[in-house]
Structure 1
Amino acid sequence: GIEYFHTKIYKIEEEPDTKDLLIHYRDLKSEEDKTFRANMVVLAAPTTSSEGTNLLAEKLGIELDNYGFFKSKSYFNKSLSMKEGIFLCGFCQGPMNITETAADASGVAGHVATLLKSARYSQVKASVKDHQSKDKTVTITPRALIIGGGVSGMGAALNISKQGYDTIIIEKEDQLGGNLKFINLLYPAKQDSLEFLDNIEDKIRKNSRIKVYLNSIIKEVKGSIGNYEIVFVDEANDVHEIKVGVIIVATGSQEFKPHGQFQYSEKNENV
């Protein structure tokens, strides 16, 4: 069962002989100092926005949410603030783990690259004139391949196309959407998942820079960064050979079913 203690913990120390954790706390009901012995302690401390967030938000002219974090344009556009041209990344939007923060940073980089597409490499050329490189220059194929037509794959294709590059999506199923097709409601925004998916698919269909191959399987990938040669078979069983400069793998994932472990089996339906 679960036992609840109304306390204030002031110290946790390890007992050398048993390796147990001794939790020293003040019982807020009896006002007595007590000790609780445990094998494991889970720290679930709350977090708040950084000091000075209010002042920075006021200077930038952007909104904060009810918890004092920077407010995103929507749950599905978390990199966009409520003000055009100002992007959000990481913990300033609210608590998140390292993986989410890294993904956020990548998303913001994509938005910025789209805005700066007309100035791409302009300063690099100027720098090379002053510092001549002995490296060999190679021609890069200005086309991207997205493997997987789920939300991540479609989002990547849209971003790359906005930067002025042709993009190819290869999806093994007979339709786009990935696992989102099997979800009714998106939490916590409580948005209809099919409506959200239809909106993205509509953008894909109307984008002349994006070509989609469904029911298609990649047979061979060779080459190196900037110059890849791809061989794949489409739904008509026709073989295609294409060249791309960038490959993004967005094949998604599925839940791990630990057969033979943790008593997971057909006999134990509740595990």
Structure 2
Amino acid sequence: MNSPVRTDPLPGDPPLLMPGAPYSVVVLLRGYAEPEKLGGAVRADGSVSLVLPQDWDPASNSTPVPQAEPQSVEAETALQEAARGPILVDTGGPWASEALLRALAGQGVAPGDVRLVVGTHGHSDHIGNLGLFPGAALLVSHDLCLPGGRYLPHALSEERPLRLGAGLEVWATPGHGGQRDVSVAVAGTALGTVVVAGDVFERHGDEESWQALSEDPAAQERSRRRVLAAADVVVPGHGAPFRVIREAPQPGSPGVGEK
């Protein structure tokens, strides 16, 4: 039986650092979604997070991500090479480009230092600044592209994550944007396992509202359960990160996702 969980907002404003080995996570920009008073419009932008390898040295960031050659480059090999440098998870919308560049600079990272950009799904408030990183490999939903426009096949599925390094994985977490959403899981931080979940979770406390924005609620419910079962911290798409606290189950009580 799974232990029941509760969730609590993580205090602090961006940049929010969760140090770790071999990877740290920095929440650079906190996403938001603010309904407007008239017309049903929503003003929104997605959260942006940075994953930094512990041994990354900006002065030695000279090995390029493999481009069109050699022909034998495999997806996970390319991703593991890219994961030796800074990884950006989502980029926010194009209206936030200056804020993104300032946030990166605050961590000592220039756009050319970013080796991999993971877009959790294809909505404009999450991948609106891809053009700032032409030298990075791009994993947008399930599409993996090396610099120069070479797309590589891979076997990512809910049963098979893409392993980028020790404790660093990309998970298939379908639902919000359809069948091809992804999340990034980072183990070994000071707060435990951090899952940067895109819009699998809109925000903390979204239990009564996320279904209205989901293209596949059944798949998203499955993804949410998976994340809650593994994460100690969740970075949602449009709000502050939150802790996942597991409590000892009471005899006869349901586990995570059980009724």
Q: After TM superposition, is the score higher than 0.5? A: no
Instruction: Pick the TM interval, shorter chain.
Output: under 0.3
Specify which structure has the higher proportion of helix: 1
Specify which structure has the higher proportion of strand: 2
Q: Which protein, 1 or 2, shows the higher relative CO under an 8 Å CA cutoff with sep ≥ 6?
A: 2
After TM superposition, the score normalised by the length of structure 2 is 0.22
